[in-house]
Amino acid sequence: MADTDRTKGYYRPDLETMDPQARQEYLDRKVAEIVAYAAQNSPAFADILKRAGAQPGDIKGVADLAGLPITEKAELVRLQRERLPFGGFAGEGLDKMRRIYVSPGPIYEPCEALYEDDRWCQAFYAAGFRPGDNAQVTFNFNMVPFAFMLDESLFKMGCRSIPTGVGNTELQVQILKDLQVEAYLGTPSFLAAIADKAEDMGLDLKRDLNLQVAFVAAEMLPESLRSELQDRLGMIIRQSYGTADVGCLSYECYHLGGMHFAQDCVVEVVDPETGRPVEEGQPGEVVATVFNKTYPLIRFGTGDISAFTTEPCPCGRTSPRLTRIMGRVDQVTKIKGMFVHPGGVQQVAGKFPQVMAYQLVVTREANRDVMTLVCELKDEGTDPTELKSRMEEAIKEVLRVKGQVQFVKPGSLPEGCKIIDDRRTWD
């Protein structure tokens, strides 16, 4: 197990251990500032205020946010189509941006010239990362922002990033061994695959590797898998919660018991129907407000359902904690770390007139997500082998996740079945 100093301490002790009343006053000031800024510099947010019949001065703090509508991801996609590239939400011009990311949708996301957000750093420190660590980042660096955010944050906190990206488990193992990497960043299922490959290569996971801590995200982490990997590798494994749009929203500490709200943002848990905050312990949609002037998203709906608790934590952090992610408000589903939208599945099927009915089925096998597009064909004379190959290539291209295609007899799929059927179970 990692050295005990990885189980204590804070990245931002001033905020992470702040008295709750002082934190509320701090967040109220930050909310008023970002609302005033966005009203002047983000046309989309100015429209939101106008539709709500509100003036910037009406939003004096966190409690006043409840009077504003929630912007859901589907609406963000629609607004971007109408007003490229950012739907009018960007608060700064293109000349002040370092990158433009492209997430599935497609959704265009601006990257500020100077990355100052330290919420992922808070998560890393709580997970046991320390300055000087070699950190292997196995998330996808292709178009999407998440891995870049982590890379920037590792540099900010004094770690060395090794941006390996996904795939090639044998090379991943070689890098872990050669560089004596202390920290892993990636999905838990890929960490399990790397451990399997290392043993296949004849390595002793604890003697030959130097893994101390892991930051896992982008998919569910069953406790059985966490325990198995911690025992096999002799390391601390902690997870966080956030999105590419709004960054880190919460994270686990050494003591578990939920995910602490990240500091320097507002996390609400609200009734999906009314948008009003729910009581402690009650399920609701996670809604975020961030203070990023390049992309000031205010009351952004993540689509994820959770609850929160204010019970004290032995770690000393005083923020509330999300209990666990319970599901999705809509049918948008996270598979292998990527959001898959029903519209994307429709786009794939629409490329093939031979398909009469379809459903994307998501299952879990050996701690890995399996995505299968189940299809009924109009013409039984169609060459299934050639069509299957073409459709699987279209899945990879459109959904950005590998999947398989299965053809079934007409009538096998229920009439009016939902587009995505998530059959995964989590122990």
Lowest-confidence segment of 42-51, 226-235, 384-393, 417-426 by average pLDDT: 417-426
pLDDT over 60 (residue 3): no
Band of the pLDDT at 32, cuts 50, 70, 90? very high
Token pair for 317: 């952090």
For domain 335-422, say whether CATH 3.30.300.30 is its number: yes
Using one digit for the tens of pLDDT, what is the confidence trace for 301-320?
999 889 999 999 999 999 99
Superfamily the domain 4-22+96-329 falls into: ANL, N-terminal domain (3.40.50.12780)
**337 has a pLDDT exceeding 90:** no
Average pLDDT rounded to a whole number, residues 26-44: 97
Helices (H), 17-163: 20-41, 43-51, 73-82, 119-127, 146-156
Residue 2 is predicted with a pLDDT of 38
Q: Average pLDDT of 87-97?
A: 92
* CA 305 – CA 218 distance, rounded (Å): 15
Judge contact between 377 and 354, C-beta under 8 A.
Answer: yes
What residues contact 222, with CB distance under 8 A and at least 6 apart? 367, 426, 427
Report pLDDT for 1.
35
Question: How much is the average pLDDT of 239-258?
Answer: 95
pLDDT score at 29 = 98
Chain length of the chain = 427
Per-residue pLDDT at 5: 87
pLDDT interval class at 343 (50, 70, 90)? confident
Q: Where are the domains of the chain?
A: 4-22+96-329, 335-422
Taking 90 as the threshold, does the pLDDT of residue 380 lie above it?
no
Name, in order, each residue with C-beta under 8 angstroms of 359's C-beta and a sequence gap of 6 or more: 373, 374, 413, 417, 418, 419, 420, 421
The phi, psi pair for 184, rounded to 5°, reads: -115, 140
